[in-house]
């Protein structure tokens, strides 16, 4: 077999994946991930691997393959990336989101940031290593999943429930969202590695009252009851709760920026983080945002019920407090039920795998400082964690200082610099040598 060069291939792989429409509207109606999965499987089969395409439903396809390591008696490492992307409105974009065009030294399109970039980096580095006959020190399981953007029912959740055997021995995992750089100055960059995720509680609220004529007295109006409860939840100032990961992040970041971290005023540090403050600020506390309201059908009819939806996110270790507070805010006349409920995660930023990530970054960027952070959203890691896997978000990218990377997740004009992808391939290669 001729040897392949991951740095040469990675932008093309990313472009090809972006050109395959795998948008996921969340209702199982779109094109599915089948075509993307076939592409990925073909690229893996080309170097002699034997990937499996696993469909959870028509065209909802996942790809899993095990790369044998030098010491198969060691626990395995899971490398995972999702193949689906969120929908887009092409009119808002400079270049068509499915064009995968390479312009201004960037690959453009939906998924360039979330997360066909990492899928391409994984493919590129694995293809190169296999073509050179270089095995990782232990088994590495690659999983390319469907449906992450809608909670993973047809992807990671389904794999963890129906194909657990394929992940035999996996105790650690690497996936999104993390490993990207945030510049401190010309010489130094923070690399944010996800070590924790907030939990998710999407809820439907219902107030039930007494239906009746809009012209008469009614002290049991469901609309009034619900509106007040929603107002209390929406305006509530959730107290700051410093989790281990957030405290480490703020301490390290403050030191790098040249001032002392004051645990009594964490928001002072967050305020200095620029565009990153939106994401990091949400990890200082639980949150609950009202997102939908429904009630009534005619101006002179008081309906019997009124409903609302709340997007709740709780910190690791603070789920109980979250629901206790929420129930106090809702009061006795509003009930809640889950539309979606998933765990919060947190793992220590220590051990050989963390060292392998930090060392690989420093080897390629001497100004790199790896710091753990908490993701305000969720990833496939939640589903894989059920199998006892400890995971990190590590899709390494050295980015230009002026690129608002975190703002491009699900945003318009998603793009990733070609040089950043090449950097990612080199870092992942070193990481896999040491994993
Ligand atoms: Zn993603």
User: What's the 408 CA to ligand 1 centre distance in angstroms?
Assistant: 11
User: What's the 1 CA to ligand 1 centre distance in angstroms?
Assistant: 33
What is the biggest distance separating any 2 CA atoms in the chain, rounded to whole angstroms? 84
pLDDT of residue 102: 96
Residue pLDDT, tens place only, 37-76: 999 999 999 999 999 999 999 999 999 999 999 999 999 9
User: What's the 341 CA to ligand 1 centre distance in angstroms?
Assistant: 18
| Residue 74 φ/ψ region, left for φ over 0, alpha for ψ in the -120 to 50 degree band, beta for the rest | beta
User: What's the 126 CA to ligand 1 centre distance in angstroms?
Assistant: 20
| DSSP-based three-state secondary structure for 278 | helix
Kindly give the pairing relationship between strand 199-208 and strand 305-314: antiparallel
User: What's the 22 CA to ligand 1 centre distance in angstroms?
Assistant: 13
Residue pLDDT, tens place only, 82-95: 999 999 999 999 99
User: What's the 305 CA to ligand 1 centre distance in angstroms?
Assistant: 37
User: What's the 239 CA to ligand 1 centre distance in angstroms?
Assistant: 28
Q: Name the pLDDT band for 164 (thresholds 50, 70, 90).
A: very high
**Distance from first CA to last CA of the chain, Å, rounded?**
25
Please say whether the beta carbons of 175 and 379 come within 8 A: yes
Q: Is the pLDDT of residue 315 over 80?
A: yes
Please say whether the beta carbons of 95 and 109 come within 8 A: yes
> Which tokens belong to 242?
């410093």
User: What's the 379 CA to ligand 1 centre distance in angstroms?
Assistant: 7
User: What's the 148 CA to ligand 1 centre distance in angstroms?
Assistant: 7
Q: Is the pLDDT of residue 148 over 90?
A: yes
The region of weakest confidence among 141-145, 182-186, 386-390 is 182-186
Give dist(CA 363, CA 357) in Å, integer.
10
> Which tokens belong to 337?
């039920």
The region of weakest confidence among 105-109, 129-133, 254-258, 285-289 is 254-258
User: What's the 177 CA to ligand 1 centre distance in angstroms?
Assistant: 7
The region of weakest confidence among 248-262, 338-352, 375-389, 411-425 is 248-262
User: What's the 289 CA to ligand 1 centre distance in angstroms?
Assistant: 21
User: What's the 229 CA to ligand 1 centre distance in angstroms?
Assistant: 33
User: What's the 131 CA to ligand 1 centre distance in angstroms?
Assistant: 28
User: What's the 410 CA to ligand 1 centre distance in angstroms?
Assistant: 9
CA torsion angle 244 246 248 253 (round to 10) = 180
User: What's the 107 CA to ligand 1 centre distance in angstroms?
Assistant: 17
User: What's the 81 CA to ligand 1 centre distance in angstroms?
Assistant: 8
User: What's the 300 CA to ligand 1 centre distance in angstroms?
Assistant: 46
User: What's the 26 CA to ligand 1 centre distance in angstroms?
Assistant: 14
User: What's the 175 CA to ligand 1 centre distance in angstroms?
Assistant: 9
For residue 173, list its beta bridge partners: 78, 391
User: What's the 165 CA to ligand 1 centre distance in angstroms?
Assistant: 25
Please say whether the beta carbons of 89 and 203 come within 8 A: no
In 3D, which of 296, 318, 310 has the Cα closest to residue 235? 310
Mean pLDDT of 371-384: 96
Q: Which residues surround ligand 1, an ion (CB under 5 A)?
A: 114-115, 176
Residue pLDDT, tens place only, 181-228: 999 989 999 999 999 999 999 999 999 999 999 999 999 999 999 999
pLDDT of residue 279: 83
pLDDT of residue 170: 98
User: What's the 143 CA to ligand 1 centre distance in angstroms?
Assistant: 14
pLDDT of residue 268: 86
pLDDT of residue 387: 94
User: What's the 197 CA to ligand 1 centre distance in angstroms?
Assistant: 13
User: What's the 149 CA to ligand 1 centre distance in angstroms?
Assistant: 7
pLDDT of residue 406: 85
pLDDT of residue 275: 77
Q: Is the pLDDT of residue 1 over 80?
A: no
pLDDT of residue 416: 98
Note the pTM of the prediction, 2 decimals.
Answer: 0.94
What does pLDDT average to over the chain?
Answer: 96
> Which tokens belong to 24?
């996921």
Give dist(CA 223, CA 227) in Å, integer.
6
CB atoms under 10 Å from CB of 355, counted, come to 12
């Amino acid at each position: 077999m001729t040897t392949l060069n991951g740095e040469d291939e990675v932008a093309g792989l990313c472009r090809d994946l972006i050109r395959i429409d795998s948008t996921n509207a969340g209702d199982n109606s779109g094109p599915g991930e089948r075509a993307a999965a076939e592409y990925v499987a073909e690229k893996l089969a080309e170097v002699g691997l034997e990937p499996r395409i696993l469909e959870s439903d028509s065209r909802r396809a996942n790809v899993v393959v095990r790369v044998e390591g030098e010491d198969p008696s060691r626990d395995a490492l899971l490398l995972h990336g999702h193949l689906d992307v969120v929908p887009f409105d092409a009119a808002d974009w400079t270049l068509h989101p499915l064009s995968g065009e390479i312009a201004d030294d960037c690959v453009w399109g939906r998924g360039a940031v979330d997360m066909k970039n990492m899928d391409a980096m994984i493919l590129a580095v694995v293809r190169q290593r296999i073509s050179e006959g270089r095995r990782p020190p232990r088994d590495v399981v690659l999983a390319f999943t469907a449906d992450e953007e809608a909670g993973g029912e047809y992807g990671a959740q389904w794999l963890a429930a129906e194909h657990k055997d394929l992940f035999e021995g996996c105790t650690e995992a690497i996936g999104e969202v993390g490993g990207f750089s945030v510049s401190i100055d010309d010489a130094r960059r923070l690399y944010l590695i996800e070590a924790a995720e907030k939990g998710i509680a999407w809820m439907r609220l219902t107030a039930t009252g007494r239906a009746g004529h809009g012209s008469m007295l009614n002290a049991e109006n469901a609309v009034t009851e619900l509106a007040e409860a929603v107002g209390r939840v929406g305006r509530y100032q959730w107290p700051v709760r410093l989790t281990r990961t957030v405290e480490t992040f703020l301490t390290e970041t403050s030191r790098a920026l040249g001032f002392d971290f004051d645990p009594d005023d964490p928001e002072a540090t967050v305020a200095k983080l620029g565009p990153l403050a939106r994401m990091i600020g949400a990890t200082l506390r639980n949150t609950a945002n009202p997102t939908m309201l429904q009630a009534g059908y005619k101006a002179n009819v008081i309906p019997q019920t009124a409903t609302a939806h709340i997007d709740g996110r709780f910190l690791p270790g603070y789920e109980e407090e979250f629901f206790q507070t929420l129930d106090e805010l809702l009061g006795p006349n509003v009930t809640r039920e889950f539309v979606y409920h998933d765990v919060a995660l947190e793992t220590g930023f220590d051990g050989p795998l963390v060292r392998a990530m930090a060392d690989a970054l420093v080897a390629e960027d001497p100004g790199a400082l790896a710091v753990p952070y908490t993701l305000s959203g969720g990833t496939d890691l939640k589903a894989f964690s059920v199998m006892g896997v400890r995971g990190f978000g590590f899709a390494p990218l050295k980015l230009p200082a002026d690129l608002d990377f975190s703002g491009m997740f699900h945003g318009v004009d998603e793009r990733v610099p070609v040089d950043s992808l090449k950097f990612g391939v080199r870092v992942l290669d070193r990481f896999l040598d040491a994993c």
